[in-house]
Structure formats: structure tokens, C-alpha cells
Copies of this chain bind each other. A is one copy, B any other.
């Protein structure tokens, strides 16, 4: 399995670096609170993706959606997990209901619920 997470982070960081030299391994690592050698290994797929907190910090740095980055790391945000754990039967049913539906149908539900067209 190719390391999508590391590659994705590296590509994104290098892209930002084109216009901003502070996006070096060292400086990004310092900003998210890890050792540069560790970030380097993560980007090269030599170390597994870091903890949720570090990934969220990294997403903020890279101006990426934290949920997407967490997903690439094979993780699910702890606030979503908590929502499911609080009402497991209900949310298990809801998610299993939605999981095979096309994007637009799920989106419509999200929008209609948000707008109170309900």
C-alpha cells in the first residue's frame, strides 16, 4: 500500500513552500510540535501518521480539512466518535442508512436539516 498520508502532506507542504519558505520540514514540525526527523519520516511513510492532535495542527498549517487528513491517516475525529458513542444504536442506524447513498442525496439531507426545511 502506497503511503497516501505522507505523500499528500509532503506534496501539500512543498506546494505551500513555493511561495513561503517557512514551510520547510523543520519549521512546520516546530509549529505543530514534533521533531523534524519525525515529520520527515511521516512524510516518507517510514513512520505511521501521528496522533489526532498533531494531524489537526498539521491540517491547520496546511489549510486543509482536518477530517480529510484524519481520514487519509485512517482515523476518525474524536468528536464524531463521541457523537456516535453517546447514542450508538441511533447513529449506527443513521450512518448505515446513509453510507450507500450518493453524495448529493446525503448533502440534501444535511442542507434540509440545517435549513429546518423539516
Contacts and interface: CB of A to CB of B under 8 A. Distances in A.
Q: What does DSSP make chain A's interface, helix, strand, loop or mixed?
A: helix
How many copies of the shown chain assemble into the complex?
Answer: 2
B80 A67 contact: no
Nearest to A74: B85
Given A93-B110, A113-B101, A84 B76 contact: yes
A21 interface: no
A75 B88 CA distance: 10
B98 A94 contact: yes
A109 B109 contact: yes
Interface of A: 65, 67-68, 70-71, 74-77, 79-81, 83-99, 101, 103, 105-107, 109-110, 113-114, 118
> Top 4 A-B pairs ranked by shortest CB distance?
A71-B88, A83-B99, A67-B92, A67-B88
